[in-house]
Chain A
Amino acid sequence: MERIPILKMGEFLLVSIQVDMHDRLAMTLQDDLTDRIVKTRARGVLIDISALEVVDSFIGRMLGNIAGMSRVLDAQTVVVGMQPAVAITLVELGMRLTGVRTALNIEKGMELLRNGSGDVNGHGRRQE
């Protein structure tokens, strides 16, 4: 059964979504991540969506869910690498990704996780 790989980078977890996910795969990812956060006591999760050319409301909700669940487990989530076309489409779609922090790339995402807050130096944003 295919799964999206979750890498451990120090005290953070990195997920790089490279495939066009069907719903089951997305749900499996949610479960796997929650598991791994607990097992590794990770302090943060980086979700790299730079390869995703389509983010619809289902994936958007998945990202929101992951952010919510990690917060409960005392970990921060940052979604990085959103493509401009995807961002424009999400705005038109009306998806606000409430509660999801975003950053332009993995490097900035890590910085955000390390600093622990969204507004230091103006890098990264937490969606309201």
Chain B
Amino acid sequence: MGRNGSGLADIVRKHETELLNAWVKEQLAANTLRLDLLNESEQREQSRRFLGVFREALGRGDAPDVMAPAWGDVRGMLAEISGARAKQGFTPTETAAFIFSLKQPVFARLRQEYAGSAEILVDETWAANVVLDKLGLYTTEVFQKSREEIILRQQQELLELSTPVVQLWDGILAVPLIGTLDSARTQVVMESLLQRIVETGAAIAIIDITGVPTVDTLVAQHLLKTVAAARLMGADCMISGIRPQIAQTIVHLGVELGSVITKATLADAFAVALQKTGASLSRPTPR
């Protein structure tokens, strides 16, 4: 007792159960409580497990370096809790409150242990504060990373949803693109179109850019690469919806369309596609 910084390890080891009770009480009383997301017994269970690995890590020494290997289990558990809370919709503050609410019970216990010496109490309190602050910050960092990953994934899903590939006819697919095209979106379009071609065994795919306001060199190149890839696979690909402005841009940019068939409207492209696949539509003759 009295060695600088070992106070925290001592009280966690000797008074784990009391600490757990006091800590859970703090969490339930806090205004960051989210019983709608995590109920009381779940909170108690998480806290109990955490105190366990916390105690073990403290026992190995090395505090306050919480990034050391000895603290791996603690970090692992915090990462797990943080990640889960990020998914569940907790805020960063609510998540960090898990650690910070442990301070009050720890300080109260330290006050009892070192009632005799004000100096040692101050040192031990500070040491414990440093450790808990670091863990709290770590929790917030992991939370942020999880959130970023979730957002990235949602963006990806949104991209895929907004670029549907439709089957116009037997063997004829169309991708009506709407809005501005950027590199990422064009690549998603490319991949889903090619995938659908394989799945449906389509003979012809039409990329319609009627709803695309501007086309720059990069996008034009991506579109041409899509056409080239479809052809390599054994299907044909046309581009429709080329407005006069876009036609001008393409010429100015010096983009070579080569043998790619382009049509002003989707309807024209569809007609050509029908002809190429040997299908024909007829109107019933009026009486």
Contacts and interface: CB of A to CB of B under 8 A. Distances in A.
A binds B: yes
Interface of A: 80, 82-84, 87-88, 90-92, 97, 102-105, 107-109, 121-125, 127-128
A87 B229 contact: yes
A122 B231 contact: no
In the A-B complex, the 3 residue pairs with the closest CB atoms = A122-B276, A84-B194, A102-B234
B232 A91 contact: yes
A63 B276 CA distance: 27
B277 interface: yes
A77 B165 CA distance: 31
Given A108-B201, A121-B278, A84 B233 contact: yes
B268 to A, nearest CB: 16
B154 interface: no
A122 B206 CA distance: 14
Contacts of A88: 190-191, 194, 225, 229
A45 to B, nearest CB: 15
A105 B202 CA distance: 11
B234 A124 contact: yes
Given A121-B278, A127-B232, 13 more contacts: A82-B233, A84-B198, A84-B229, A87-B230, A87-B233, A90-B232, A97-B232, A104-B198, A104-B201, A104-B235, A108-B234, A122-B278, A128-B259
Interface in B195-226: 195, 197-198, 201-204, 225
B228 interface: yes
A85 to B, nearest CB: 8
A92 B231 CA distance: 14
Contacts of B26: none
Contacts of A84: 191, 194-195, 197-198, 229, 233
Interface of B: 190-191, 194-195, 197-198, 201-204, 225, 228-236, 259, 273, 276-278
Given A88-B229, A102-B234, A104-B234, A123 B191 contact: no
Which has the most chain A C-beta neighbours within 10 Å: B194, B233, B259, B276?
Answer: B233
A125 B190 contact: no
A112 B134 CA distance: 68
A87 B203 contact: no
B203 A122 contact: yes
Contacts of B230: 87
A122 B204 contact: yes
Contact of B234 (A82, A90, A121, A128): A82
Contacts of A80: 234
14 contacts: A84-B194, A84-B198, A87-B229, A91-B228, A91-B229, A102-B233, A102-B234, A104-B201, A104-B233, A104-B234, A108-B201, A123-B234, A125-B234, A125-B235
Contacts of B235: 104, 125
A93 to B, nearest CB: 11
A24 to B, nearest CB: 26
A121 B276 contact: yes
Contacts of B277: 121-123
Contact of A103 (B229, B234, B276): B234
Contacts of A107: 201
Contacts of A90: 229, 232
Contacts of B197: 84, 104
B236 A102 contact: no
A102 B10 CA distance: 74
A104 B197 CA distance: 8
Contacts of A109: 234
Contacts of A124: 234
Which has the most chain B C-beta neighbours within 10 Å: A82, A103, A104?
Answer: A104
Nearest to B200: A104
A125 B229 contact: no
A91 B191 CA distance: 13
